Structure 1
Amino acid sequence: MMMTQSAAHQRKDGFVKGRRLGCLVLVLVLLADQLSKQWILYGLKLPEKGSVAILPWLNFTMVWNHAVTFGMFGGHSPSVFIIVSLMAVIALCVVLIRSRRLLVSLACGGIIGGALGNVIDRLQYKAVVDFLHFHVAGWSWYVFNIADSAIVCGVGLWILDSFLADRRRNRS
């Protein structure tokens, strides 16, 4: 089936729009992450306070994370995490540039923005600034930040896109 020139142009515009939205997400995540960390460190002065109750189920709790999620791979130099993160960012930038699906573009933007936010912390402080601490009824989640949230949401979007792509293929 041949696509008309107009349909091909619309499709190309959709790809470009998806990439632009991915880049916008990247910038917004990076800004939100870095501004929130600056406020936590220098506005709220959380390192001096340790923890501040915000809601019955949310505290701002200061944690200098020298590892990755759940403290995995601790004991390594910050440069190891920086190099691995930057390699992932480069690979994800290639995926974003080539992306033909909106959810993948948005996912890449979130993951790249989050990874860069944590790289900036490691360069500046030799650790990542974590402060969001959710807890309810004796259950407590690990302390994380906006960058971590964006990475998790990006991975979730990518998984959702893969399920949707499978459904589209099965219908064809």
Structure 2
Amino acid sequence: MPTSENATSPPAPVQPTVGVNRYVIFFALAILGCGLDLWTKHAVFQADAQFPLIERPGKPPLRIYWLIENYVGFETSLNHGALFGMGQGGTPIFAGFSVVAAIGIVYWLFFRKAASDLWLTIALGSVTAGIFGNLHDRLGLYHGFGHWDKGAVRDWILLTAGSYDLRWPNFNIADSFLVCGAALLLIHAFMQPVEEKPTQSPANHPPQKEV
């Protein structure tokens, strides 16, 4: 009778491969997304002086360019925190975390071969675009502001619920890429098939003899 040593061993798992198209998709998303973020920041902040001045009784005036009045507009602001204004004053920490996250993404995608999954490639390309768009600002690489502004992220997209007092914290294109990428990762996690535990068969587990 054949012994376990002579039994056929299971085939080795197939190693995933990463095609050139995955590199193209990832870096195109990261570079173009970051470029779009930086261009829109520059354009809106340059045009800020031409925005209509809105007077408010008993409150400081505002400069807002409304696309849909009292709902969607452009308003420049400087954020020394993280996404949507959280963690004010932690610029060095967020900058360091951004660098580590970007390195981790590239390593996971192309050294651990996660880029063989197209969905992950698109999701993490979007996240990387957002990381570098805001990292550029946190490192103070833009021009035109005083020294105290260096390290602040430039936000300009304004969403309100019919009143300026009911507004979402200002954000930018980089934030949008980060949120979209995170949403894609969450959807991807729910789409993964559930691994079934192997069932026990009589061949693998013969019945024990009664004593």
Q: Larger helix proportion, structure 1 or 2?
A: 1
Calculate percent identity across the aligned residue pairs: 25
Deviations 1:34-70 (A, max 9, x none): 110110122x135986322122321111110001124
TM-score normalised to structure 1 length:
0.81
- Compute the TM-score of the two structures, normalised by the length of structure 2: 0.67
Contact 2:48 2:76 in 1 (8 A): no
Q: How many residues align?
A: 161
* Aligned positions of 1:89-108 closer than 5 A: 89-97=102-110, 98-99=113-114, 100-108=116-124
Higher relative CO (Cα under 8 Å, sequence separation at least 6) belongs to: 1
Amino acid at match of 1:51: I
Mark the runs of 5 or more structure 1 residues left unpaired by the alignment.
3-7
Choose from 62, 68, 88 the match for 1:74: 88
Q: Aligned to 1:75, what secondary structure does the other structure show?
A: coil
* Aligned AA (2:64): S
State whether structure 2 residue 24 is matched by structure 1 residue 24: no
Within a 5 Å distance, the mapping from 1:1-172 to structure 2 comes to: 12=17, 15-42=19-46, 44-45=47-48, 50-56=63-69, 57-76=71-90, 78-97=91-110, 98-99=113-114, 100-124=116-140, 125-138=150-163, 139-166=166-193, 169=195
Larger Rg belongs to:
2
Q: Following TM superposition, by how much is the alpha carbon of 1:142 offset from its aligned partner in structure 2, in angstroms?
A: 1.7
In structure 1, what is the Cα distance between the partners aligned to 2:138 and 2:50? Answer: 17
Distance 2:25 2:32 in 1: 10
What is the identity, as a one-letter code, of the residue corresponding to 1:130?
D
Letter in 1 for 2:35: L
**In 2, Cα distance between equivalents of 1:17 and 1:87:** 25
Q: Residues 36 and 146 (structure 1 numbering): CA distance in 2 closer, same or farther, change over 3 Å? A: same
In 2, are the aligned partners of 1:40 and 1:46 still within 8 Å (CA)? no
Distance 1:119 1:39 in 2: 18
DSSP 3-state at the match of 1:126: coil
Can you give the 5+ residue segments of structure 2 that lack an aligned partner in the other structure? 1-9, 54-62, 141-149, 197-211
